Structure 1
Amino acid sequence: MNYKAFKKAGLVLAVAALSLGSCTKNFEELNKDPYGSTDQDLEGDFAIVAAQLQQAQRSIYLFTPVPDFQVQQNLFGDIFSGYMMTPANFAGNKNNTTYFIIDGWNGTPWNVAYANVMNPSYKAGVFSKGKFDDTYAMSKLLRVEAFHRLSDLYGPIIYTKYNQPNSEGGIDFDSQKDAYYAFFADLKEAIDILTPLKDKSSSIIFTKADLVYGGKYDRWLKFANTLRLRLALRIVNIDPAKAKAEGEAALANAGGLLSTVDDNFLVSIGSTTHPLNTISDSWKDIRMGAPVESILGGYADPRLPKYFKPAIDPNPAVFGTYKGIRNGINIDDKGRYQGYSELAFFESKIQLMTTAEAWFLKSEAAIRNWAGAGSAQANYEAGIQASFEQHKLPNAAAYYNNSTLKPKPYIDPKAITAGENDIKEGSPYLSTITIKWEDAAVFETKLERILTQKWIANYPEGQEAWSEFRRTGYPKLFPVVVNASGGTVDTKKFIRRSIFPSNEYATNAAAVQKAISTLSVPKDVAGTPLWWDTK
């Protein structure tokens, strides 16, 4: 079943695959009412399905091994979103942060997605289809959540053709448009299954598989609807009719969207340390990004100490402040910026979607006049309220009613070349957006206000934040100072995607070339915009 590039992936997957094949010979005997299955029933085939779905949940945002997470997520989306920056000068300062995409780094997100998410979720889906509708729906949702992230990194991906070799022995890609249309089809199928189940108690197998909600169908349905709305807005600039149809379908579903803090989609990783704790505290490889200092610092945002620690660098202009590092700068030695703000401690849960995001999605849908979206202002304020509640903070109303605070200038007192890292008043990269909603504001001001607050609330999920920055241009971020892309990325336009892994060129070359031809510009470079990226 494995896509050929990953046929040598981990022994755990191989054992699971063999177990699945050997157990299914007695399937007809075991195939009783899934909602009345006993624990004894679940000891064989069913336990394998649950384990496969658990593995998929834990690998969308990989928590172990930490080195793989670092190049799956942290040195891509976490940095390109402006949330974080490394103090290390990896590869002599020619790395992702300076737009030199390191071969090997760029293969990890691809490998993890197929070996750790597609492979087990595909098997679980094949096993469940027509027999266990609930786990079949879960397998679909996990694939969409994982592979829209992968597509938002590379563009074209292998999705509908997975496990279907072409005549040349490779596997064909979907264009990003075709992949997104397939995502919507899979979401609709899963939503249609879960909607009549939303008020029922879940099956044993579904509960065992669920690392997020403990087997609650209604919350998985909310997640599915919110994911559908997220992806609808992702394509709104390139395919507005499809976007509106999918978005309004999500808003109209009886299950609703994520609406309370308990609905946050957080994957439990047990007693394992969150990978960001390791990278920040133990390895000291990641620190706060400069845009966080500017935006949250300018807003006197009470979430800032929930996200980061005060700097310990002895420079008097830095010590005790919340100090971020600007992306893509001259870094001669790790010690130069290691004393800037570390990340605050994370509990052993991986955040993939929050209720705050759902409210901000509704707010944007409202300013676009989509049916069922409600009031843009009420949704916007509810998004801020939900984020404050998530972080156990009071006085959200005082924050969202502030009409004067705005992002502040950024100055790096430790820059190698004095002044090269400063963002001053009047810079096109320094936002002037305030917090309080203004219903009379023009559309673009409303959009910037929504997206800036959504960016704050979505922390630390950098992949989604980076995607939304590329889609909208918000929040305003700071361009790199050092651009090592060799001219393939325009500094003023920022990085737009990752290039395909060299392993794909080596094992699936013809399909890769066809995939490249579907890009907005047929060049596999980091400056090529994705299909939905019209900014």
Structure 2
Amino acid sequence: MKNKKLYILAALAITLSSCGKELDEVNINPNNTENAQPDYLLTGAIKNTVDAYWSTTNTMNSSSLFVQHWAKVQYTEEDRFIYSNSSFTSLWSTGYSQSITAFNKIAQLGDAQANPNYKGVALVLRSWVFLLLTDAYGDVPYSQAGKISDFITPAYDKQKDVYFGLLTDLKAAKTALDPAGKAISGDIIYSGNIARWKKLANSLRLRIALRIADKEPARAKQVLDEIAADGDTYLSDNTDVAQLIYLTSPQQNPVSALFETRDDYRVSKTLVDKLFALNDPRLPVYASKTQTPTPEEYIGVPNGSTNSEASALGFAKTSKPGAYFLLPQAPAVIFSYSELLFDRAEAAARGLTTENAADLYKQAIKASLKQYNISDATADTYAAQAAVQYDASNYKKSIGEQKWIALFGQGLEAWAEQRRLDYPQLSASVNTVLNGKIPVRFIYPGTEQSLNGQSYKNAVSSQGADLLTTKLWFDAF
């Protein structure tokens, strides 16, 4: 409807040029401000982006199924990887039409108002959005994205170039951010604490350095050396966790909102069984006891069940997510301190830094448990188990499995890390439709073929077929 109105106005402007002034006045919305304010834009853009990140479409119906954190107990088509080219539109449309556009505007307003902290925060968040997009789809519009007046049909950049560009953007963001500079408003993640935004910028640089480490180890080391040389810090404890803490209905966590009206999802049997095997104290946090008492108390649903198989398991005899995740105020985590420590442990294990990998690994596990208010004593007992202790001969297995547990709820990030580290080693159900494979990417939205056809074709020609099973550049093994 909006596009139709604009086309009509454009036609009238050509044929009735003498009425231009009147048309300009008619086309002004009296309910909208003519001067965008960065604080209001920032609040809205953060909320829209985090909602998409934590949403049903991008987590519970896709990435959290692929990584076997969640499973479906009815309407199990997605758990069997039955998708169409409209299934993965949400992340793309929100990322490009809302998030990136808004963060670009905030950066511009920061320049116009001589407040570089707005620009720095916008660059950090925009980089995170681009990272989500390329991790999920592969080659995506980056250098021409969000510049609608110049590029109606933006070209797709190669994934390697997107990662390299984001490293440059985050370095610029870190430089722009000044804790002693002008204050910002509208920040519903860190409440205007610029020092924490600087830490997040560096932490995202570390995340990307590890994304490229299998393909570009020299560049990954260069990034970490630059951060160390500048004397910069990463997230330094659980108070630095980047997260959006939701409010009550209707501004509640998307998971909580979903379970108000639907009951399609359960915790995956893969995860529940692993937590049982490790005597993991996060089990009652991640999963609820079965509604009908069972000897096991917690029962996960096998991924890839048919509708009849899932129905036979029963709603009352399988475990919903834990109460923590069903609270309206449950936080949507963007970057945890636990993840940061696992990243540092891996960087050390790869020889990219001189830190102690085993010590950082243990700290990461303890930070994950502490995130859920589990005591240090319990965490020490858990970490001391032989099955949990760090194995320097296979750091990818140790870090990959424990990071997978720690990232529960963060479907897109957990999926990216499982593809990169190849742990835990997951198996697809015989009921799935990809010949025993698990999806390794989102397919592009079908609208790209009709609205940006040549760029889409170029991307497919470069990257490979637009299929769920086409491996991305970062997914080296």
Both proteins in one fold, TM over 0.5: yes
Counterpart check, 1:110 vs 2:92: yes
Letter in 2 for 1:100: I
Counterpart check, 1:352 vs 2:334: yes
Of 304, 319, 322 in structure 2, the residue corresponding to residue 341 of structure 1 is 319
Counterpart check, 1:469 vs 2:418: yes
CA distance in 2, matches of 1:166, 1:121: 16
Q: 1:57 corresponds to which residue?
A: 46
Per-residue deviation, 1:234: 0.9
Q: 1:295 corresponds to which residue?
A: 274
Per-residue deviation, 1:509: 0.6
Q: 1:35 corresponds to which residue?
A: none
Q: What's the CA shift string for 1:278-315, capped at 9, x where partnerless?
A: 3345411211012211211111100110111012357x
CA distance in 1, matches of 2:438, 2:30: 42
Q: 1:378 corresponds to which residue?
A: 359
Q: 2:457 corresponds to which residue?
A: 513
Letter in 2 for 1:511: S
Give the 5 Å matches for 1:6-25: 22-23=34-35
CA separation of 1:231 and 1:102: change in aligned 2, threshold 3 A: same
- For structure 2, the 5+ residue unaligned runs are 8-26
CA distance in 1, matches of 2:173, 2:266: 39
Give the 5 Å matches for 1:3-402: 22-23=34-35, 45=36, 48-62=37-51, 69-90=55-76, 93=77, 96-129=78-111, 131-164=114-147, 169-194=152-177, 197-198=178-179, 200=180, 203-204=182-183, 206=184, 208-271=185-248, 272-280=251-259, 282-312=261-291, 318=294, 321-332=297-308, 335-337=311-313, 338-339=315-316, 340-345=318-323, 346=325, 347-371=329-353, 373-394=354-375, 395=377, 396-402=379-385
Q: 2:468 corresponds to which residue?
A: 526
> Which stretch of the first structure deviates more once superposed, 53-62 or 290-299?
53-62
* DSSP-derived class of the 1:59 partner: helix
Contact 1:237-1:534 at 8 Å conserved across structures: yes
- Using the aligned pairs only, state the percent identity: 25
CA distance in 1, matches of 2:220, 2:320: 39
Contact 2:101-2:146 at 8 Å conserved across structures: no
CA separation of 1:363 and 1:102: change in aligned 2, threshold 3 A: same
Per-residue deviation, 1:164: 4.0
CA distance in 1, matches of 2:49, 2:312: 33
Letter in 2 for 1:435: V
CA distance in 1, matches of 2:407, 2:383: 17
Of 442, 448, 451 in structure 2, the residue corresponding to residue 504 of structure 1 is 448
CA separation of 1:203 and 1:447: change in aligned 2, threshold 3 A: same
CA distance in 2, matches of 1:192, 1:57: 21
Q: 1:435 corresponds to which residue?
A: 388
Q: 2:409 corresponds to which residue?
A: 460
- For structure 1, the 5+ residue unaligned runs are 9-13, 24-44, 404-433
CA separation of 1:163 and 1:462: change in aligned 2, threshold 3 A: closer
CA distance in 2, matches of 1:514, 1:523: 11
CA distance in 2, matches of 1:55, 1:17: 20
CA distance in 1, matches of 2:359, 2:470: 37
CA separation of 1:143 and 1:402: change in aligned 2, threshold 3 A: same
Contact 2:440-2:470 at 8 Å conserved across structures: yes
* DSSP-derived class of the 2:419 partner: helix
Per-residue deviation, 1:51: 1.7
Per-residue deviation, 1:105: 2.0
CA separation of 1:352 and 1:364: change in aligned 2, threshold 3 A: same
Letter in 1 for 2:284: P
Q: What's the CA shift string for 1:170-203, capped at 9, x where partnerless?
A: 2211121111111111111001222xx24x3x63
* DSSP-derived class of the 2:85 partner: coil
Contact 1:166-1:172 at 8 Å conserved across structures: no
> Which stretch of the first structure deviates more once superposed, 248-257 or 267-276?
248-257
Letter in 2 for 1:77: S
CA separation of 1:63 and 1:168: change in aligned 2, threshold 3 A: closer
CA distance in 1, matches of 2:152, 2:344: 44
CA separation of 1:146 and 1:169: change in aligned 2, threshold 3 A: closer
Contact 1:86-1:287 at 8 Å conserved across structures: yes
CA distance in 1, matches of 2:367, 2:151: 51
CA separation of 1:506 and 1:17: change in aligned 2, threshold 3 A: farther
CA distance in 2, matches of 1:163, 1:136: 16
Per-residue deviation, 1:169: 4.7
CA distance in 2, matches of 1:63, 1:172: 24
Per-residue deviation, 1:334: 6.0
Question: How many aligned positions are there?
Answer: 444
> Which stretch of the first structure deviates more once superposed, 390-399 or 329-338?
329-338
* DSSP-derived class of the 1:129 partner: helix
CA separation of 1:476 and 1:313: change in aligned 2, threshold 3 A: farther
Per-residue deviation, 1:146: 1.4
Contact 1:73-1:462 at 8 Å conserved across structures: yes
CA distance in 1, matches of 2:418, 2:218: 22
CA distance in 2, matches of 1:506, 1:325: 39
CA separation of 1:501 and 1:463: change in aligned 2, threshold 3 A: same
Contact 1:89-1:332 at 8 Å conserved across structures: no
CA RMSD of aligned residues (A): 2.7
